[in-house]
Structure 1
């Protein structure tokens, strides 16, 4: 069920609202950036994400194909969201599930996860090993 969640980085400089359905799959990826940052995104459509505060407190990082934009808080370093510009659903926002407020540990334990093999650009399949993600 679609619901509006409020979220933030650790220090609170960056805040946002996102329309998400946490009964739908979220993602864990083994690509170089997701693995290093332990990023766990739920997907919001571009018009379902609103940055409320902290635009000037963000640092944008892009690499490789430069299609995806990774945003980090300049102060606490938390990666609260990223923007995918060329995805199967068009432009979308990957919202870090662990930055959402008001989601209990029990609710988090029930959020479905799809594991993807971004390390080998094999996005439709899980990597051979994924329990560490």
Structure 2
């Protein structure tokens, strides 16, 4: 299914091809405060209509995650997830090479129609 999305002001525009069967909510401090409903897609499922060079980038902790924000309204429409920590790798978490999309930025998407998976980011060592 093709979905179009934007940030709040419409400066950041993108399309994503996927069926959304769940969203993720993380309890890590930055994730909790931003309140995004995230779902992951492979690299080729996202088509950017606004160049990444026009967006603000925030990196923290291991600097492997790339959080892209609209420089005008501050909304995070998508991000590159962080690489697994040594703790996560030891638990069998596989690296993910794709995008994490903020479902709240998709036009016409009703998040109440899909299950919510809780991610316990506060339990993961982010150093």
TM-score tier, shorter chain, comes to 0.7 to 0.9
Unaligned residue ranges in structure 1 (runs of 5+): 123-133
List structure 1 segments (4+ residues) > 2 angstroms apart after TM superposition: 54-57, 85-90
For each residue in 1:15-39, what CA deviation from the matched residue of structure 2 results, as whole angstroms up to 9, or x when unmatched? 001122212x210001121111112
The count of residues paired between Structure 1 and Structure 2 equals 116
For residue 80 of structure 2, the aligned residue among 71, 80, 83 is 83
CA displacement at 1:92 relative to structure 2: 1.5
CA displacement at 1:75 relative to structure 2: 0.2
Unaligned residue ranges in structure 2 (runs of 5+): 85-93
Alpha-carbon distance change, 30 to 110 in structure 1, aligned in 2, over 3 angstroms: same
Using structure 2 for the length normalisation, give the TM-score: 0.83
- Indicate the structure whose relative CO is greater, using CA pairs within 8 Å and at least 6 residues apart: 2
How do residues 1-133 of structure 1 correspond to structure 2 at under 5 angstroms? 3-23=1-21, 25-84=22-81, 86=83, 88=94, 90-103=96-109, 107-121=110-124
RMSD: 1.7
Contact 1:39 1:96 in 2 (8 A): yes
More strand by share: 1
Using structure 1 for the length normalisation, give the TM-score: 0.79
